[in-house]
A and B are shown apart, each in its own frame.
Chain A
Amino acid sequence: MKKLILKLASVFCTVVMLSNGIAVHAEESEKIILPSGKPLSWVQHELEETDKANTEENPLFASAAVGIFQGDEVLYTGYFGETDKENQIPADENSVYEWGSISKTLIWVSAMQLWEQGKLDLEKDVREYLPEGFFQYLSYDEPITMLNLMNHNAGWQETTRPIWETDENKILPLREELQRIEPEQIHHPGEVTAYSNYGAAVAGYVIECVSGMDYCDYVHQHIFELLGMEHTALNPAHSDNAFVYEQRKKMKSYSINTVYGIAIDLGNRLNYVPAYPAGAATGTLSDLMTYTQAFVNPAAPLFENPETQKILLSGTSFYGNSDIPSCCHGFWPEEYAVRTYGHNGGTTSGQSNMLFDPESGTGLVVMTNEPNGNWYLNYPQVFVFGALDAEKYTSGSPEKVKFDGYYVISRSTYRGMMKFIPYLSAISVESLGDTESIGNNVYAIRSEIEGWNQETAMLFSKKTYPDGNHGLEVSSMELIHDKFYLLKLCLFTIYMIIAIASVYLLRIRYKIKKAGRQSELTESSVMIAGQLARIVSFLTLLSVYVICMNCSGGIPLTAGKIISMIQIICMIICGISAILPYILNKNNKYNIPHTIGNLLCITAVLYFDMYRI
């Protein structure tokens, strides 16, 4: 009995320790001051207060794993919430979360390892490493270098094919998958920064070709095993790590609606990434912390020469003409009170974030099972690293600048049937706030941090493209100025109005027929065919968006072919319907508006590439 009590007590203590997250004693945590200027104990208190406020009636988050370290010492690990609410499985040190795009840093580390061995030239055309004829849709002959892939400026648009696979058995080998999802190259290499999963996955395949090893094996051998990361998988179906494979099946994903106070169970969300170098790594918090700690270790355990680590964290692209880096060999620098490096990531099941400050050796890792993120992803980084003081770059009396017009996001699809999508998310920079020029073609927009009584600033730079147009570079993407945005949006609106008008014309026809009357407006079958074609065309466009949302941002090839066929048929019918009434009944007064409607519909279908697979 005594033994049983002791056993139960020890289990209870372990559970309490794990759920509250203890790494450093309370007295010590008072003394440890983080780069934000706050003591560790304060950060710990804030994290745990949020956990206390998270109840069944008032759900704030599903689960989160948070780790803070300084050098090789783990200062704090906290596991909050549950990874499976139904079965009440709490988040703990065995919970595995998806890294998402943090996985890309494994590619960049591998590339730098091969670079220091002299096997890979970062400035050489990657086609020299890849099999002959690897790319099928390149538009430009300029070389695409590993640096282009790291800086996400090789010129590819967003892929139009789904990048997720739900059936484990349908996962294609990396090379085949990359050829299946290859997007069109719409910019010259080096011209526009547009975050690209495809580009990163190609870099992973380059590692495979240069090292002569399967990419997954390479990473296991040269990173995971080197650092002792035993609970991380990289293979799309996590088959390279039995522990992760089992644990991942136990984890569920949630979407928390704090307004309605509900936690929506999204299930296991086992969506696999066949282009796995771009985002398939999955593992425990402890392993991701170990990996992150390697970057603040002066001995640089991942490289033969510690200097390589310094080079890895040196800028490869900069804001304007300044020395503020916007990308460091694939790692994203972020300006807080101190400059941090790292990457964040998101999948269909969760989001993660990895940040470190090599100067102080401090790092923060957060992992969640919510695809929309939660409080732990947005606030702890400011608690640990502080906020960028608006005055740091904007001191004195900076010149106020106005950026007029609308900007479209570079990371999108500009060719193919999804071309209309970026026009639904254009940005007016003016509406973001007052812009200040801080010199060297760099600009800042000030904003207040809620609850902190402090002003921070968002930095961006202005870029002029060879065609004279300009764009604004914000970290991993650019906002491209679109002079004719309103005109394009007008065309889209008219296309929509024409479809709605066609519905009304059909309703009117029905009424007139029912009343036993005749009208030039409704008698012509050719006109009716045109009206139907305009409605079908618009509904098909809506279906593109619905499929695209359901297939994680892509259109499967078969669906694409069907949609393309329907749009071509609609265009042909509209074309015939625009011309034929003049032959059949040229005195019909409705011929002209009818023809204009049909021609505008055809113009919209052609302009927005609705017929292109």
Chain B
Amino acid sequence: MNKTTIRNLIQADIITMNGGKNNLRFTMILMLVIFGSMGFLLSPLMGLYCPLMLSGFFVPMLFQNEMKYHSEKMFSLIPISRKELVTSRFLLTIGLYTVCDLIFYLLMLLSLNLKLYRKITDAIDIIGYIVKKSEGSFTELGFLNLCYFAAFAIGLIVSANALRMYFRDGELFAAAFSITTKTKKMPLKNYIPAILIILAIFIFFLIITGIIPIGTAMLVILQLFIQLAEAANGFLLGAMLTAIAVMEAGYHYICTVLEYDQKDL
């Protein structure tokens, strides 16, 4: 892999991204402003919507022009390897997502320190309330970190998965986000992840209600998570969740490289 090629590809993607009508970008900025303001006025926890929201819209937003004008085939004409294309886009997506997230995290830290939301409205201070209820287990910063890193990790996994889906079938992906007018029926196997997620949530509820009696096995993991969340203001758990998310993203990257290499363009 050539580093210069990757750099050039990233730059080309940024140019494409900024061209044309960016309706999604406008929507994104609007939502960021709304949730950012709510983060200052209501609770820094509102800022959590940012990583979750970003993760859902990041890939479509980055590549909407390409999807709209079907310019993805261009990359099969220029002298680059498919691996370089996949690598550049993973780096761009994950890099931008991390930077955006970090900025939002720093803003929410500022909100937590300024505590404007306590002065402006009579609304309940959610973080303060939870910290009080935890009887000293969490600090305000620790709780914010815990929620934020968890949201970041989920977002990172969702972004990587979205990019993989995009590389696998750009048309289907565009249709799912209604970016192109061309409709394509989603194959049944694409619903499997959604079904698995619903099933996992269902099983999770069965476990926490004790219907599936593996509570003790879950307890050690839960206790470890709580301890990691409490120690060092939640940064340890944050590091662990980030590590898991990076591994998952790495897995999606390798799968994408393999799948895209075999794809008939």
We find that the number of chain B residues with CB closer than 8 angstroms to chain A is: 33
Q: Which residues of B contact A515 (CB under 8 A)?
A: 258-259, 261-262
Q: Which residues of A contact B223 (CB under 8 A)?
A: 424-425
Q: Is B99 on the interface with A (CB-CB < 8 A)?
A: no
Could you say which of A425, A431, A493, A542 contacts B240, with CB atoms under 8 Å apart? A493
Q: Give complex CA distance A496, B239 in Å.
A: 12
Q: Is A507 on the interface with B (CB-CB < 8 A)?
A: yes
If A260-B209, A546-B217 touch, whether A489 touches B251 (CB-CB below 8 Å) is no
Q: Is B77 on the interface with A (CB-CB < 8 A)?
A: no
A486 → chain B, closest Cβ, in Å?
6
Question: Contact: B220 with A546, CB < 8 Å?
Answer: yes
If A432-B136, A508-B251 touch, whether A546 touches B240 (CB-CB below 8 Å) is no
> Of residues 224 to 261 in B, which have CB atoms within 8 Å of A's CB atoms?
224, 227-228, 230-232, 236, 239-240, 243-244, 247-248, 250-251, 254-255, 258-259, 261
If A497-B240, A546-B220 touch, whether A511 touches B231 (CB-CB below 8 Å) is no
Question: Contact: B230 with A489, CB < 8 Å?
Answer: no
Point out residues on A near B: beta carbons under 8 Å: 260, 264, 406, 423-426, 428, 431-433, 485-486, 489-490, 492-493, 496-497, 500-501, 504, 507-508, 511-512, 515, 517, 542, 545-546, 549-550
Q: Which residues of A contact B219 (CB under 8 A)?
A: 545, 549
Could you say which of A433, A492, A493, A497 contacts B136, with CB atoms under 8 Å apart? A433
Q: Which residues of A contact B239 (CB under 8 A)?
A: 493
Question: Contact: A504 with B224, CB < 8 Å?
Answer: no
If A511-B258, A542-B221 touch, whether A431 touches B137 (CB-CB below 8 Å) is yes
Q: Give complex CA distance A164, B261 in Å.
A: 60
> What would 15 more interface pairs be, CB under 8 Å, given A431-B139, A546-B220?
A260-B209, A425-B223, A426-B231, A428-B136, A431-B138, A432-B136, A433-B136, A489-B236, A493-B236, A504-B248, A508-B254, A511-B251, A511-B254, A515-B262, A545-B217
B231 → chain A, closest Cβ, in Å?
6
Q: Please, which residue of chain A has its CB at the minimum distance from the CB of B135?
A: A432
A527 → chain B, closest Cβ, in Å?
16
Q: Is B193 on the interface with A (CB-CB < 8 A)?
A: no
Question: Contact: B254 with A546, CB < 8 Å?
Answer: no
Question: Contact: A549 with B240, CB < 8 Å?
Answer: no
Q: Give complex CA distance A493, B240 in Å.
A: 7
Q: Which residues of A contact B137 (CB under 8 A)?
A: 431
Q: Which residues of B contact A497 (CB under 8 A)?
A: 240, 243-244
Question: Contact: B231 with A406, CB < 8 Å?
Answer: yes
Q: Which residues of B contact A426 (CB under 8 A)?
A: 227, 231
Q: Give complex CA distance A507, B209 in Å.
A: 31
Question: Contact: A489 with B240, CB < 8 Å?
Answer: no
**6 A/B residue pairs, CB under 8 Å, sorted by A:** A489-B228, A501-B243, A504-B247, A508-B250, A511-B254, A515-B262
Question: Contact: A493 with B228, CB < 8 Å?
Answer: yes
Q: Give complex CA distance A121, B220 in Å.
A: 44
B69 → chain A, closest Cβ, in Å?
31
Q: Please, which residue of chain A has its CB at the minimum distance from the CB of B243?
A: A497
Q: Please, which residue of chain A has its CB at the minimum distance from the CB of B216?
A: A549
Point out residues on B near A: beta carbons under 8 Å: 136-139, 209-210, 216-217, 219-221, 223-224, 227-228, 230-232, 236, 239-240, 243-244, 247-248, 250-251, 254-255, 258-259, 261-262
Q: Give complex CA distance A493, B258 in Å.
A: 31
Q: Please, which residue of chain B has its CB at the minimum distance from the CB of A504?
A: B247
B258 → chain A, closest Cβ, in Å?
4
Question: Contact: A500 with B258, CB < 8 Å?
Answer: no
Q: Give complex CA distance A508, B258 in Å.
A: 10
B264 → chain A, closest Cβ, in Å?
15
Q: Please, which residue of chain A has its CB at the minimum distance from the CB of B227?
A: A424
Q: Give complex CA distance A490, B244 in Å.
A: 15
Q: Give complex CA distance A542, B220 in Å.
A: 7
B77 → chain A, closest Cβ, in Å?
25
If A264-B210, A508-B254 touch, whether A545 touches B247 (CB-CB below 8 Å) is no
Q: Which residues of A contact B220 (CB under 8 A)?
A: 424, 542, 545-546, 549
B262 → chain A, closest Cβ, in Å?
7
Q: Please, which residue of chain B has its CB at the minimum distance from the CB of A429?
A: B136
Could you say which of A260, A406, A507 contacts B251, with CB atoms under 8 Å apart? A507
Question: Contact: A504 with B251, CB < 8 Å?
Answer: yes
Q: Which residues of A contact B254 (CB under 8 A)?
A: 508, 511-512
Question: Contact: A486 with B232, CB < 8 Å?
Answer: yes
Question: Contact: B244 with A489, CB < 8 Å?
Answer: no
B221 → chain A, closest Cβ, in Å?
7
Q: Please, which residue of chain A has its CB at the minimum distance from the CB of B251?
A: A504
Q: Which residues of A contact B224 (CB under 8 A)?
A: 424, 492, 496
If A424-B223, A431-B139 touch, whether A496 touches B217 (CB-CB below 8 Å) is no
A226 → chain B, closest Cβ, in Å?
43
A577 → chain B, closest Cβ, in Å?
19
Q: Please, which residue of chain B has its CB at the minimum distance from the CB of A541?
A: B220
Q: Which residues of B contact A545 (CB under 8 A)?
A: 216-217, 219-220
Question: Contact: A428 with B209, CB < 8 Å?
Answer: no
If A493-B236, A493-B239, A517-B258 touch, whether A486 touches B247 (CB-CB below 8 Å) is no
Which among B139, B243, B250 has the greatest number of chain A C-beta atoms within 10 A? B243
Q: Which residues of B contact A424 (CB under 8 A)?
A: 220, 223-224, 227
Q: Give complex CA distance A497, B136 in Å.
A: 27
Q: Give complex CA distance A546, B228 in Å.
A: 19
Q: Give complex CA distance A372, B254 in Å.
A: 49
Could you say which of A260, A489, A501, A512 contacts B247, with CB atoms under 8 Å apart? A501
Question: Contact: B244 with A500, CB < 8 Å?
Answer: yes
Q: Give complex CA distance A542, B225 in Å.
A: 13
Q: Which residues of B contact A492 (CB under 8 A)?
A: 224
Question: Contact: B216 with A546, CB < 8 Å?
Answer: yes
Question: Contact: B236 with A500, CB < 8 Å?
Answer: no
Q: Give complex CA distance A490, B240 in Å.
A: 10
Question: Contact: A428 with B216, CB < 8 Å?
Answer: no
The 7 tightest CB contacts between A and B, nearest first, are: A545-B220, A431-B136, A549-B216, A515-B258, A504-B247, A432-B136, A424-B227
Question: Contact: B231 with A489, CB < 8 Å?
Answer: yes
B1 → chain A, closest Cβ, in Å?
14
Q: Which residues of A contact B240 (CB under 8 A)?
A: 493, 496-497
B92 → chain A, closest Cβ, in Å?
22
B84 → chain A, closest Cβ, in Å?
17
Q: Please, which residue of chain B has its CB at the minimum distance from the CB of A515?
A: B258
A266 → chain B, closest Cβ, in Å?
12
Q: Give complex CA distance A431, B258 in Å.
A: 49
Question: Contact: A486 with B251, CB < 8 Å?
Answer: no
